A = this chain, B = another copy of it.
Amino acid sequence: MEYTPTLPLVDDESASPRVKAVFDDIRATRQTDFINNFWRALANDPANLERTWQELKELMAPGTELDPMIKELIYVAVSTVNNCTYCVRSHTAAARAKGASDAQIAELQSIVAAANKTNRLAIGLQVPVDEVFA
């Protein structure tokens, strides 16, 4: 069964000028005509579309504290813990586009898995924080 989104995807024709301006900026920034479904769904709340695009555009761009490929890998790690299929798939693709190899993606997932394991052990055993970490 294919599911529809809970709010309609906004296509170019029905986009308001405010939405269209964001779509134009996405296209210019990414140098592609393709707008993925995430942004078309967000367009139901133009203020949130603007804020979220601006946030990702600034955060994920080259020239900040961390390398763009590394930032995509961190995004994949978070998306994996949150179990967001859409986000795991789209950000794994983005990491690849920015140079991540299969071996790096496999290692990333091994670290995510190990961290999930030790997180639960620290919680389940109620390990007290060592003074040196407090």
Contact = CB atoms under 8 A, between A and B. Distances in A.
Nearest to A93: B133
Copies in the complex: 6
Interface residues of A, number: 87
A84 B83 contact: yes
Contacts of A9: 128
B3 A113 contact: no
18 contacts: A3-B128, A4-B128, A5-B125, A6-B124, A37-B130, A51-B55, A65-B106, A74-B74, A74-B115, A80-B123, A82-B115, A84-B120, A85-B129, A86-B127, A86-B129, A87-B115, A112-B120, A113-B117
Interface of A: 1-9, 34, 36-38, 41-42, 44-45, 47-48, 51-52, 54-56, 58-60, 64-66, 70-71, 73-93, 101-134
